[in-house]
């Protein structure tokens, strides 16, 4: 599950958006383009959509092909703008079974292409299996190496990186690697993390390892004063259990428990697009839990019941023990060399899968080392949209996207 490609509510007040569109056009056409992108990505109906369509570029969605990586070929798709490619963005989905065919990711890729970007979507196989591993970072690195060498995608030998959810933090890690540091034009983390161990601690305990009040005073992130703390999402805790299954149950139970968790996560993904199918799989997983031996049966029951308060305490000591895991530098931007390229961090204030505190802490960590721009928005969360836009929030998001379009 990852950030919706819809940056703010479909219930947005059309008058507010139209007024801001007019204001953007009056100030500068580039800002109008940025705001038009937001309107298209939000799929707003009526007048906002009509006005935004005036600046939309035609594009072609090409057939799926394979990109070579050290872990094998991975599926990719290119969205080619009609006016030619000035800058290609590698768009990486987060933890989701459908990878590059996930409907919201396709929508975001199309909206970016309509803004004039070439968009190359690539999915890491492990993330499609709901697993966050160092191999994901390797896939991102190899994809940049390949794409930046293709003149049709990278006329100047550079590409942008846009990672959603856990792909966001991993994209920053990859962008700092010596093999591609000179081939990354910018890297954007959309709801990503700075330290994976810290996120796992939050998902298991509901607590963020950091000074919340001090974070609110950060000058590195616009909107930092809004940062808060919310109970963790059951989806995220299930992902943690899947990752730690071999440390929680006997070896001969790992495969069966993993299948059950995988089914629950699949149903959670389906719930966004096909509620009936999701309910069927949820029911199947409840029946499946009864076939498991202990302790897997109890753990799977907690997953089905979304019992974060019961699963969290079981997983917390194991998750905290991973702070010194040798692979953690490949999974955490704050433990890896910083990129040379500008870093942009966008996060929903009320995110309860990867808390928005992660963006604040990461921005503070990177400040002084690399050019970093951060924004916490009240218009987006990790899994859903839950606020109507204010002019201030829309203006902030417009300025943020305008900076991306300059790269």
CATH numbers and ranges of domains, the chain: 59-228+327-405 (3.40.50.1820), 234-323 (no CATH)
Contacts of 288 (CB under 8 A, 6+ apart): 259, 260, 263, 300
CA-to-CA distance for 162 and 121, rounded, in angstroms?
10
The C-alpha angle with vertex 331 and arms to 155 and 266, in degrees rounded to 5, equals 90
Check residue 382 and give its pLDDT. 54
List the one residue out of 203, 215, 34 whose CA is nearest residue 132. 203
CA-to-CA distance for 307 and 248, rounded, in angstroms?
17
CA-to-CA distance for 144 and 90, rounded, in angstroms?
8
CA-to-CA distance for 310 and 35, rounded, in angstroms?
44
List the one residue out of 163, 140, 216, 193 whose CA is nearest residue 358. 193
CA-to-CA distance for 150 and 158, rounded, in angstroms?
10
Cβ distance 353 to 236 under 8 Å?
yes
In terms of C-beta density within 10 A (0-12 exposed, 13-18 middle, 19 or more buried), how is residue 276 classed? exposed
CA-to-CA distance for 377 and 8, rounded, in angstroms?
9
Check residue 7 and give its pLDDT. 43
Tens place of pLDDT for every residue, the chain, 407 residues? 444 333 444 444 555 555 555 544 444 445 445 445 555 545 544 444 444 454 567 899 999 999 999 999 999 999 999 988 989 999 999 998 899 998 888 988 988 898 889 999 999 999 999 999 999 999 999 999 999 999 999 999 999 999 999 999 999 999 999 999 999 999 999 999 999 999 999 999 999 888 888 888 998 898 888 888 889 999 999 999 999 999 999 999 999 999 999 999 999 988 878 899 999 999 999 999 999 999 999 999 999 999 999 999 999 999 999 888 888 999 999 999 999 999 999 998 889 999 999 999 999 999 999 999 999 988 775 533 445 556 777 777 777 777 776 66
Cβ distance 56 to 81 under 8 Å?
no
Helix 357-366 vs helix 196-205: crossing angle, to nearest 10: 160
CB atoms within 10 A of CB 255: 10
Check residue 19 and give its pLDDT. 53
Structure pTM?
0.86
CA-to-CA distance for 244 and 295, rounded, in angstroms?
14
The C-alpha angle with vertex 4 and arms to 233 and 333, in degrees rounded to 5, equals 70
Check residue 166 and give its pLDDT. 95
List the one residue out of 344, 360, 334 whose CA is nearest residue 407. 344
Check residue 381 and give its pLDDT. 59
Check residue 27 and give its pLDDT. 44
List the one residue out of 146, 143, 195 whose CA is nearest residue 168. 195
List the one residue out of 393, 405, 341 whose CA is nearest residue 112. 405
91 token code pair? 């768009």
Check residue 52 and give its pLDDT. 47
Helix 234-248 vs helix 308-320: crossing angle, to nearest 10: 50
DSSP secondary structure, 3-39, as one string: --S--S-TT--HHHHHHHHHHHHHH-HHHHHHHHHHH
Check residue 297 and give its pLDDT. 98
């Amino acid at each position: 599950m990852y950030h919706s490609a819809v940056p703010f509510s479909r219930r947005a007040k059309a008058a507010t958006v139209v007024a801001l569109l007019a204001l953007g056009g009056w100030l500068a056409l580039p800002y109008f383009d940025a705001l038009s992108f937001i309107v298209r990505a939000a799929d707003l109906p009526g007048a906002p959509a009509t006005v935004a369509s005036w600046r939309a570029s035609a594009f072609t969605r090409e057939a799926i092909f394979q990109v070579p990586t050290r872990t094998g070929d991975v599926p990719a798709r290119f969205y080619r703008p009609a006016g030619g490619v000035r800058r290609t963005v590698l768009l990486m989905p987060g933890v989701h079974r459908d990878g590059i065919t996930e409907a919201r990711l396709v929508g975001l890729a199309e909206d970016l292409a309509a803004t004039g970007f070439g968009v190359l979507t690539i999915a890491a196989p492990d993330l499609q299996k709901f697993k966050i591993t160092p191999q994901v970072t390797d896939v991102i690195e190899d994809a940049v190496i390949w794409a930046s060498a293709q003149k049709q995608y990278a006329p100047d030998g550079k590409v942008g990186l846009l990672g959603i959810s856990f792909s966001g933090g991993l994209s920053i890690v990859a962008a700092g690697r010596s093999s591609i540091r000179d081939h990354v034009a910018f890297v954007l983390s959309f709801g990503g993390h700075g330290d994976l161990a810290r996120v796992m601690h939050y998902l298991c305990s509901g607590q963020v390892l950091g000074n919340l009040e001090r974070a609110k005073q950060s000058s590195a992130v616009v909107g930092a004063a809004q940062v808060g703390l919310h109970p963790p999402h059951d989806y995220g805790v299930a992902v943690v259990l899947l990752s730690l299954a071999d440390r929680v149950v006997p070896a001969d139970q790992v495969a069966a428990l993993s299948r059950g968790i995988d089914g629950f996560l699949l149903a959670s993904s389906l719930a966004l697009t096909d509620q009936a199918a999701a309910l069927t799989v949820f029911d199947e997983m409840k029946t499946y839990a009864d076939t498991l031996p202990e302790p897997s049966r109890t753990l799977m029951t907690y997953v089905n019941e979304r019992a974060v308060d019961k699963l969290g305490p079981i997983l917390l000591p194991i998750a905290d023990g991973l702070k010194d895991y040798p692979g953690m530098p490949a999974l955490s931007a704050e433990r890896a060399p910083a990129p040379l390229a500008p870093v942009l961090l966008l996060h929903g204030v009320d995110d309860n899968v990867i808390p928005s505190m992660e963006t604040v802490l990461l921005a503070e960590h990177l400040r002084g080392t690399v050019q970093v721009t951060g924004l916490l928005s009240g218009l987006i969360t990790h899994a859903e949209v839950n606020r109507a836009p204010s002019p201030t929030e829309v203006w902030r998001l417009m300025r943020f996207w305008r900076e991306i379009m300059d790269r």
